[in-house]
A and B are shown apart, each in its own frame.
Chain A
Amino acid sequence: MTLLNAQRISMQFGGLIALRDVDMRQVAGETLGMIGPNGSGKTTFVNVITGHLTPQRGEVHFDDISLLGRKPFQIAAAGLTRTYQAVRVFSELTVQENIATALVDAARPLDSDGVAETTEWLELRHRLDARAGSLTLYEQRRLEVLMRLVQRPKLLMLDEPVGGLSSTEVRATIDLLSELKARCTLFVIEHTMKVIRELADRVVVLLAGEKIADGPPAEVLADQRVVEKYLGSADA
């Protein structure tokens, strides 16, 4: 069943074309990876899908409802949510308060047992009373995910979930995310190829706002064009 269907998305900032006729389909349960050089439009794509930006052209359907023109809070209620490339939590509030804030307008909130269990799973229980801004980056990344999971999203878009993490933390995050697949569908933007290789069922490559490849990781990552344009410079 198609969960996300984006068609001919074009997004322009003044004279700069950030996305050009991008098509993207994602089936429920399928983990989709997105890669591409800096400035190729990956974050812009997430911003368009989640209602943070309005594209000049294109259509977005999620769960068979049209998303264009809807605001981020409505899209969240429909079960589509995202994290940010630069970690973003309510840093002056405690972890507990951050979680409570994520629950306050959740359309399908987890019950309190579920919240406790998920908090335990993400190893944040001992940090509940800490100010979120005082957490380590890795803890903040987990808190971000926790705040999405308590809303039981159908699709979670992660914008560089391991950005800035150490290699041990990257390893642990990959393990967490692969367990996470059982709870919701994942869309993952990453520069770290290991994450894509281990998690993605399918991978999409953006280059200067255009989709230049789309297929299973093994195939795409071996594609000559992708290697030339991108992987040559990445940590493949």
Chain B
Amino acid sequence: MTGLMRRWLAHAIFALAAFATPLLLSGNRYFAFIAGITFFSVLWATGMNLLYGYTGLMPLMFGGIAGISAYVTIGLSANGWSFWLAMLVGSVAASLVGIVLGLPALRLRGFYFTLCSLVIQTVITLAFVYFVNLTNGDVGISHIPLPELPGGRQLAGTAYELVLATIAVIGVVVLTVIVESSFGRRLTAIREDDGLAETLGINVTRQKLAAFFVASLFASVGGALYAPYVGFISPRSFDVLLSLNIWVMVAFGGRGTIWGPVIGAVILAPVPFVLQDYYTIKDVVYGLLIIGVVVLLPGGIVGGVKRKGRADAPAAVAKQAAPVR
């Protein structure tokens, strides 16, 4: 029993903090809203961590998938569906799209997949702009109604933030369970060397696509809940900047660790609000942050997966030095 308690201690503390925050901030809508946005960031960073941290694929279309789910969910709600059913359908649909968009990862690795995902993200954004009758194009959709609750009430205010806290906690728990399961072991093997993984009997194709599905679920559940929470979405809400934002949180915190990206999200998600008054330098600060992370913190603040190519592999050295026969 003590083992089990120790095992989930960090999660319990995180859950406690997550549920306490909206309650403590309930007197100040502005701060409570920042907390709400931070919960989305935790959920999204955790989902991207599954792909970027544990599978070794950096999916820059992550924001686009969240967007697909958001548009489908509010589209269906506007047609009279219950929000929750719409969210279920929207999330699953967007995650299936996520699998399809992950297909290039079967051929492309590392940087090349990242480039490809950037192109995919751009296409998704263009599609949001193009299909005006579904998305209202660049104008965006405003006055998105809040999700209804049983009994005719609406999910709003502190209750909404508590739901977001719950989703964030569930996300972290789900990732933890995955990482410690054989699914997680397969993904780590793929991240380290997918050719070797395949030789050892792992169906790399299937595992990668499964990873895309699960990570896309994180993106899309967040996307569906984000739209009514903020009340307004446009193609820019789910553009490449969202993907990059989340990526920075994962990398800054420490990819391939459970808590690194959570910490990254908690630290970085409030930054835009803090810098709000310095709008002109916001992007500069942001750019410097990206460079700083890449150069100074290859493993993130928690010290996760480092970039490859370190010269400490004796085998590689020995191989060079060894005579051929």
B-chain residues with CB within 8 Å of residue A101 when the two chains form the complex: 185-186, 188-189, 197, 200, 202
Do A105 and B325 have beta carbons less than 8 Å apart?
no
Give A113-153 as 1s and 0s: 1 = Cβ < 8 Å from B's Cβ atoms: 00000000000000000000111110010000001000100
The residue in chain A whose Cβ has the minimal distance to the Cβ of B305 is: A92
Do B319 and A50 have beta carbons less than 8 Å apart?
no
B-chain residues with CB within 8 Å of residue A137 when the two chains form the complex: 314-315, 318-319
Chain B residues 166-224 with CB under 8 Å of chain A are 182, 185-186, 188-189, 192-193, 195-204
Give A81-101 as 1s and 0s: 1 = Cβ < 8 Å from B's Cβ atoms: 110101111111100010011
Chain A residues 42-100 with CB under 8 Å of chain B are 50, 52, 71-73, 76-77, 81-82, 84, 86-93, 97, 100
Given the interface contacts A101-B200, A104-B182, A105-B200, does A90 sit within 8 Å of B192 by beta carbon?
A: yes
Given the interface contacts A86-B319, A92-B305, A163-B319, does A102 sit within 8 Å of B200 by beta carbon?
A: yes
B-chain residues with CB within 8 Å of residue A102 when the two chains form the complex: 200
Do A234 and B315 have beta carbons less than 8 Å apart?
no
**Does A106 interact with chain B (Cβ within 8 Å)?**
yes
Given the interface contacts A105-B203, A136-B314, A163-B322, does A72 sit within 8 Å of B192 by beta carbon?
A: no
Do B325 and A104 have beta carbons less than 8 Å apart?
no
A-chain residues with CB within 8 Å of residue B197 when the two chains form the complex: 101
**Does B277 interact with chain A (Cβ within 8 Å)?**
no
Alpha-carbon separation in the docked complex, A234 to B206 (Å)? 44
Alpha-carbon separation in the docked complex, A72 to B189 (Å)? 15
* B195, B201, B312 pick with most chain A CB within 10 angstroms: B201
Question: Given A38, A73, A81, A104, which contacts B324 in the complex, CB threshold below 8 Å?
Answer: A38
Q: Which residues of A contact B (CB under 8 A)?
A: 38, 50, 52, 71-73, 76-77, 81-82, 84, 86-93, 97, 100-102, 104-107, 133-137, 140, 147, 151, 163-164, 191-192, 234-235
Q: Which residues of B contact A (CB under 8 A)?
A: 182, 185-186, 188-189, 192-193, 195-204, 305, 312-316, 318-319, 321-322, 324-325
9 contacts between A and B (CB under 8 A): A50-B199, A71-B203, A76-B199, A86-B319, A104-B186, A104-B202, A107-B201, A151-B200, A164-B318
